[in-house]
Amino acid sequence: MSLDALYQQIILDHSKLRHGEGLAAEQPPAGASCGESHQLNPTCGDEITVRLAVVDGRVSQFRWDGDGCSISMASASVLTDLAEGIDTEELRTLIGTFREMLRSRGKIAADPEVLGDAAAFEGVARYVARVKCAMLSWVAAEDALGQASS
Partner 1 sequence: MVAIPTHLLPSAGTLDNDEVRRIRNDFPILHQQVNGRNLVYLDSGATSQNPLSVIEAEQEFYEQRNSAVHRGAHYLAVEATESFEDARETVAAFIGARSDELVWTSNATEALNLISYSFLNASLPGATAESARFALGEGDEIVVTEMEHHANLIPWQQLAMRTGATLRYIPVDDSGALLMEEAARIVGPRTRVLAFTHASNVLGTINPVAGLVALAREHGALVVLDACQSAPHMPLDVKALDVDFAVLSGHKMLAPTGIGALYGKAAHLNAMPPFLTGGSMITTVTMEKAAFLPAPQRFEAGTQRISQAIALASAANYLKETGISRIHEWETVLGQRLVSGLSELPGIRVLGPAAGQERIGLAAFDVDGVHAHDVGQYLDDRGIAVRVGHHCAQPLHRRLGLTATTRASTYLYNTTDDVDALLEAVSGVRSYFRV
Give me the residues that bind partner 1 (CB under 8 A), please.
2-3, 6-7, 12, 15-16, 43-46, 67-71, 127, 130, 133
d(CA 45, CA 110): 28
Torsion of CA 94, 98, 104, 106, to 10 degrees: 120
The nearest distance, CB 69 to partner 1, in angstroms, is 4
Nearer to partner 1, 6 or 140 (CB): 6
The nearest distance, CB 122 to partner 1, in angstroms, is 16
3-state secondary structure of 28: coil
The nearest distance, CB 52 to partner 1, in angstroms, is 24
d(CA 86, CA 103): 24
Contact 79, 142 (CB under 8 A): no
Nearer to partner 1, 15 or 88 (CB): 15
Nearer to partner 1, 69 or 108 (CB): 69
Contact 121, 102 (CB under 8 A): yes
Nearer to partner 1, 51 or 130 (CB): 130
The nearest distance, CB 146 to partner 1, in angstroms, is 27
